[in-house]
């Protein structure tokens, strides 16, 4: 499934890098796109959206389904 999340706390390239590293290291994420300008994270996963939200919270970012 493909989900899009709003990540309002993402404000710079450092934030984007942290989120990308977290998603890349996850076994449930098959593909992702992090858009800093819109503060959106698009994720392809076999997992539930709540699992992606938890992954982002682990590195300090709040997220909600867009």
DSSP 24: H
pTM for this model (two decimals): 0.95
Domain that holds residue 21: 2-65
CA dist., res. 55 & res. 13, Å (int): 18
What is the token pair recorded at 35?
Answer: 């858009």
Confidence of residue 25 (pLDDT cuts 50, 70, 90): very high
Looking at the DSSP assignment, which residues form a beta bridge with residue 33? 42
Confidence of residue 60 (pLDDT cuts 50, 70, 90): very high
**In this predicted model, what pLDDT tens digit does every residue of 44-54 receive, in sequence order?**
999 999 999 99
The structural domain count of the chain equals 1
Q: Domain containing 49 — which CATH number?
A: 3.30.70.100
């Amino acid at each position: 499934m493909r989900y899009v999340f709003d990540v309002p706390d993402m404000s710079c390239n450092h934030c984007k890098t942290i989120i990308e590293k977290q998603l890349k290291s996850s076994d449930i994420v098959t593909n992702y796109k992090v858009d800093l300008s819109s503060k959106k994270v698009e994720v392809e996963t076999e997992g539930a959206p709540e699992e992606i939200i938890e992954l982002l919270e682990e590195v300090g970012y709040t997220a909600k389904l867009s």
